[in-house]
Amino acid sequence: MLTLDEIRDLQFVFIIGKGRSGTSLLQTILDTHPNVLSTMESPFIILLKKKYFHLKKWESHNIDAFISDLYEEKKFKHLWNIDSKELRRFIDQYPLNELNFGILCKLIYLNFPSPFKKEKISLLIDKNPSYSIFIKELWEVFPDAKFIHLIRDYRDNIISSRKAFGHKNIALTAQTWVIYNTIIDTLKEKHPNKFFTIRYEDLVTSPENFIPEICHFLDVSFRKEMFDFHLKTSDLFHEKKSENKILTDVINTIHLNLLNPINTTQINNWKNELTQSEIQIAEYIAGNTGKKYDYYQTTNIRKFNYFYISSKTYLQLKLNNWITINYYKSPSFIRNILKSFSTSLFKWFNFTTRYNKAELQLKKKLKK
């Protein structure tokens, strides 16, 4: 059991970038380290920050409310596999008058049941692409937090997003790639020591070079067994396949590659799987940003239609990000009203938005 001083000193590292850029692969590799704990994806830090971050004096009823709100987050509830009563008993081991929001978040992470053997935890890893637009908010809670920025060729990212999530709008996916990486790059310029940037292609092509570099950035020792993560994930997946159908479905549809050794099979697939017109619109939107990371264009087609599509998706995503950020900054009762309204729109009119789709898909899986 860690002391409160040791918990305060625990380093938080967030793996960010556009989703489908290899963030889950890197998260799993790092989780094999005995001193590193990496968890499943859940946005509960940002979700609960508005209500609890500024709470100075914690009492028993605050802890009860905190845990209750925590389990309202669907990904946490169904994927983290933490018993609420056990979590409460774990929290109760620490003096109530010395707790704060940041410490409570760390206590939750420390309860995550990693499949890999652990010794004394010195580092917490959170892989969450959506946190790319919440870096400043995360720094408010964890001022010493570091970030690993993972980047992938935007054309392969488009293919992966289409296969995993059914994202058919090439322009929208490319524009999301640009906006996420631009936000991160802007903060990286101001705080270069807080970021480690790596391309997915470099990670899987030369892991023997880049994994030790990442370990050095994280101030943990490199272990050769980090390359063998797939042995444990594959055994665990087949062993637990019938116990958690939601997790099984997530792996089958989104993270199947985690059951295999590090490989380069997902590089440059866009050359065969994207049409020429899809390549043109993707490179028109993301080409200039891609050059910064040595993703070079194969076309240079300028059409007014591309300008229109690019401008439209840019404004759409800016609005979506503004709505998302302010949604999480809103009081919980307002969020509950909006969530209920969004769910009703889907039930009544089959109207799906990015704000209700994931939760409703999860509900469908639970009914099966």
Any idea what DSSP says for residue 93? T
Distances (CA, A) of 8 to 11, 21, 102, 140, 142: 8, 31, 8, 14, 10
Q: Which of 221, 211, 152 is nearest to 29 (CA)?
A: 211
Give me the residue spans of the domains in the chain: 4-169+177-268
Amino acid at 98: E
Residues 147, 141: Cα–Cα separation, whole Å? 14
Cα–Cα distance measured from residue 368 to residue 363, given in angstroms and rounded to the nearest whole number: 9
> Each residue's pLDDT tens digit in the chain (368 positions)?
899 999 999 999 999 999 999 999 999 999 999 999 999 899 999 999 999 999 999 999 999 999 999 998 888 998 898 999 999 999 999 999 999 999 999 999 999 998 889 999 999 999 999 999 999 999 999 999 999 999 999 999 999 999 888 889 999 999 999 999 999 999 999 999 999 999 999 999 999 999 999 999 999 999 999 999 888 877 766 665 545 454 455 454 445 677 888 999 999 999 999 999 999 999 999 999 999 999 999 999 989 999 999 999 999 999 989 988 988 888 877 877 877 777 676 667 665 555 555 455 555 544 44
> Using the 8-state DSSP alphabet, how is residue 119 labeled?
S
- Scanning the structure block, which residue is given the tokens 């866009």? 270
Determine how many CB atoms are found less than 10 A away from the CB of residue 44.
Answer: 19
- Assess if CATH 3.40.50 describes domain 4-169+177-268: yes
pLDDT at 201: 98
Kindly state the tokens that stand for 299.
């076309």
**195 strand-pairing partners:** 147
Coil, helix or strand for 240? coil
Amino acid of residue 343: T
The whole model's pTM is what? 0.89
pLDDT of residue 270: 97
